[in-house]
Copies of this chain bind each other. A is one copy, B any other.
Amino acid sequence: MLNVIILGTGNLAQQLCHALSKVDMVQLVQVYGRNPNHLVWFETYTATTSDVKQIHDADIYLIAVKDTAIAEVSGHLQYKNGIVAHTSGATPMDVLCAQNRGVFYPVQTFTKGKMMHFDEIPICVEANNPQVLEKLTTLANSLSQTVCELHSEQRMQLHLAAVYTNNFTNLLYAIGEDICLRNNIPFELLYPLIDETAAKIKRMSPSEAQTGPARRGDSTSMDQHLKILSEPQQQEIYTLLSNAIKAKYEEKL
């Protein structure tokens, strides 16, 4: 049995609370949050406290607060014997001041209120000693089929890759939607294409999957697209991304 305490009350804290409460080998002992109002949601799951002095003892403390608050929250735990782990992709492990420290980073985007199944969410772990690594790996395996040990620099790079494949991809979806809305076209027409684009890269590398006017070096189509684009920023993005594709495949044309 692993006794776990969650620190934080945001989206990820809720997801972890919900997921961990279903795991037999985990006892969710407590949730800590500074703001008592934000703790109400957690009360159906376990004990809560907004007083750092009332934080119980546990095997693992999972810090799920915004990146800039991790060091401060970990400061409240510096005399605890349990493992202190944060859940951030972009934060080095060593901002934690605990003797037994680690990272427990679920690679996913979470939507408030939509509880996710963790079994398909990869969890990246890191630890400052083998005992910590073993316990965090056990906890990760209790939730997910995919657990991967990454050191802080790798995790930062993975997080950066996620900015491209999640944040920036979403911006492109938004541009697609904007173009549709301006022209009275239902954006839903693009859903199956968006799904297949995401599915395709599991069958082949995205470098092989690349198609489109820039990939073919079809400058007639590209010129025409630039002409019918009404937003300067969308034009700029079109040009830069097309040039990147062209440069990548030019020798192969």
Instruction: Kindly state the separation between the CA atoms of A203 and B172 in the bound complex, as whole angstroms.
Output: 17
This protein's copies in its complex: 2
Q: Which of A107, A120, A173, A184: most chain B CB closer than 10 A?
A: A173
Count class of interface residues, chain A? 35 or more
Instruction: Kindly state the separation between the CA atoms of A28 and B53 in the bound complex, as whole angstroms.
Output: 77
CB distance from A210 to the nearest CB of B (A): 5
Mark A residues whose CB is within 8 Å of B: 67-68, 90, 107-109, 111, 114, 116, 120-122, 124, 146, 148, 150, 153-154, 156-158, 160-177, 179-180, 182-198, 200-207, 209-215, 220-221, 224-225, 228-229, 233, 236-238, 240-241, 244-245, 247-248
Beyond contacts A109-B193, A121-B192, A122-B189: 16 other A-B pairs, Cβ-Cβ < 8 A, are: A90-B221, A108-B192, A109-B197, A156-B228, A157-B179, A158-B179, A158-B183, A161-B187, A167-B212, A168-B212, A169-B169, A170-B210, A197-B198, A233-B247, A236-B240, A237-B241
